[in-house]
């Protein structure tokens, strides 16, 4: 029967591509959180056609306003689906549907998905609407071939992962909507790699205060831009420390903490060529490995800023934390990672590996906050968060096969 599932999905390659194209055409850009309701309505109809019961969980605006200012104009709905086959255990598939904003010059329109040489182009094709198409077609294969999954199947398609996930996966976990024994997050591993963790992250905004003056008399002011530049140079001293803190991954390789400054930067009001700037701002992205803690990483960064204040005259900095996500790691020897790896090995015909992604995913909400055994796996792609984002069609099909085989063979 497993071979029939794979043959079925080979024949449905065009359907997987068309579904992904339909999803990419809906520009669910975050921020601000556009077109979420339209997207959920489309996918809800798809789940209903698969015989799944569905439910839309929308974050109350009053709650959402704690995280975003535009909660009333841009609601945050999560779509949940359930296929209850009377099994003893339930597996949950989670995928986020929001995508990052678009910049740069694309080969094709970012929301006009095109197929070229075995790839589907479009914003969200790889990160991560491709996984949604794979989940839907894996369930479609089981349904059409009359194969009962060994576990009940629960799914959630959630918003806002790109801005931390608190109003998406975080919300449905905290409010108890997830009723599952195992979770598969549709990213964090691909190909022959099963994801068993991710880096944590802290985002900060550093606001450097100066004193305005006319540029013809700069000695009368305090140049906030120059102080900001001096601060960033002082923070470079953290990098040699990071190089001594390698965390050994399951494959034996090491990963290291990182810091990136200036993803967003700018000056305050009243900026002008012939003025001494009174304010300068920049962001800091600090990646936290599973060998570190969020608390210690923040303490170290704040300490480095304080030390810079002693070395740079008249440096005044306000460091504001924007986001904090703990690193996540699950035991690759657990029942779920091992069972999923067997499905990968059978479909891919290669020895699977366990990996930890340098980015962050929604995995931590399920694995750490809810304590549910969780892995990450989805189709591979290129150009996520960049121009010409694309998903490889052959890998979409292979990922759907892995999902289908896992559901058909493992009962938890």
Share of the chain above pLDDT 70, in %: 100
The per-residue pLDDT for 277 is: 97
Domains 2-198+327-409 and 200-325 share a fold: no
The per-residue pLDDT for 270 is: 85
pLDDT, tens digit, for every residue of 388-409? 999 999 999 999 999 999 999 9
pLDDT at 2 over 80: no
Provide the β-strand partners of residue 182. Answer: 91
The per-residue pLDDT for 268 is: 87
- Mean pLDDT (whole number) for 230-253: 94
Distance in angstroms (rounded) separating the CA atoms of residues 63 and 269: 31
pLDDT, tens digit, for every residue of 185-239? 999 999 999 999 999 999 999 999 999 999 999 999 999 999 999 999 999 999 9
C-alpha dihedral sign at 150, 136, 115, 376: negative
The per-residue pLDDT for 46 is: 98
Copy the structure tokens of residue 66.
Answer: 């704690």
The per-residue pLDDT for 269 is: 87
The per-residue pLDDT for 272 is: 93
Q: Which CATH class is domain 200-325?
A: alpha beta
Token pair 């890998």 in the structure block, residue? 395
- Mean pLDDT (whole number) for 289-305: 96
The per-residue pLDDT for 75 is: 97
2-198+327-409 adopts what CATH topology? Aminopeptidase (3.40.630)
Distance in angstroms (rounded) separating the CA atoms of residues 52 and 156: 12
pLDDT at 111 over 80: yes
Token pair 């997987």 in the structure block, residue? 16
Distance in angstroms (rounded) separating the CA atoms of residues 176 and 194: 26
pLDDT at 1 over 80: no
Provide the β-strand partners of residue 323. Answer: 203
Where exactly are the structural domains of the chain?
Answer: 2-198+327-409, 200-325
pLDDT, tens digit, for every residue of 335-392? 999 999 999 999 999 999 999 999 999 999 999 999 999 999 999 999 999 999 999 9
Mean pLDDT of the chain: 97
The per-residue pLDDT for 151 is: 98
Distance in angstroms (rounded) separating the CA atoms of residues 165 and 67: 10
Distance in angstroms (rounded) separating the CA atoms of residues 69 and 73: 9
pLDDT at 49 over 90: yes
Q: Are 9 and 412 in contact (CB under 8 A)?
A: no
pLDDT at 162 over 80: yes
Omega before residue 128 within 30° of 0, cis: yes
Any residues with CB less than 8 A from the CB of 226 and at least 6 apart, and which?
none
pTM of the model: 0.94
Q: Give the three-state DSSP class for 187.
A: coil
The per-residue pLDDT for 3 is: 86
């Amino acid at each position: 029967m497993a071979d029939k599932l794979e043959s079925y999905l080979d024949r449905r390659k065009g359907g997987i591509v068309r579904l992904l194209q339909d999803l990419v055409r809906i520009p669910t850009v975050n921020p601000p959180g556009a077109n979420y309701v339209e997207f959920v309505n489309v996918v809800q109809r798809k789940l209903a056609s698969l015989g799944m019961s569905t439910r839309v969980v929308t974050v109350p605006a009053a709650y959402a306003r704690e995280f975003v200012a535009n909660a009333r104009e841009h609601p945050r709905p999560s779509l949940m689906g359930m296929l209850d086959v009377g099994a003893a255990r339930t597996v949950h598939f989670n995928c986020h549907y929001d995508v990052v904003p678009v910049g740069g010059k694309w080969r094709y329109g970012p929301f006009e998905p095109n197929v070229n040489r075995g790839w589907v182009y479009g914003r969200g094709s790889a990160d991560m609407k491709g996984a949604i198409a794979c989940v839907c077609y894996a369930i479609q294969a089981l349904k059409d071939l009359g194969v009962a999954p060994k576990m009940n199947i629960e799914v959630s398609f959630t918003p806002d992962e790109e801005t931390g996930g608190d109003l998406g996966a975080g919300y449905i976990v905290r409010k108890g909507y997830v009723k599952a024994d195992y979770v598969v997050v549709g990213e964090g591993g691909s190909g022959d790699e099963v994801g068993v963790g991710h880096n944590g992250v802290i985002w900060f905004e550093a606001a450097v205060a100066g004193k305005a003056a006319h540029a013809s008399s700069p000695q009368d002011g305090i140049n906030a831009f120059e102080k900001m530049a001096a601060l960033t140079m002082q923070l470079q001293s953290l990098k040699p420390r990071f190089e001594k803190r390698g965390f050994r991954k399951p494959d034996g390789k090491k990963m290291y903490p990182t810091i990136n400054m200036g993803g967003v930067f700018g000056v305050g009001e009243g900026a002008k060529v012939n003025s001494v700037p009174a304010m300068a701002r920049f962001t800091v992205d600090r990646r936290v490995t599973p060998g570190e803690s969020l608390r210690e990483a923040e303490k170290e960064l704040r300490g480095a800023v304080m030390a810079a204040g002693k070395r740079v005259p008249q440096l005044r900095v306000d460091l504001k934390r924007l986001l904090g996500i703990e690193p996540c790691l699950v035991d690759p020897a657990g029942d779920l990672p091992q069972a999923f790896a067997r499905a990968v090995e059978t479909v891919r015909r290669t020895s699977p590996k366990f990996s930890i992604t340098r980015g962050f995913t929604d995995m931590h909400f399920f694995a750490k906050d809810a304590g549910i055994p969780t892995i990450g796996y989805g189709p591979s792609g290129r150009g996520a968060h960049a121009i010409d984002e694309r998903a490889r069609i052959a890998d979409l099909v292979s990922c759907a096969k892995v999902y289908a085989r896992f559901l058909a063979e493992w009962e938890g």
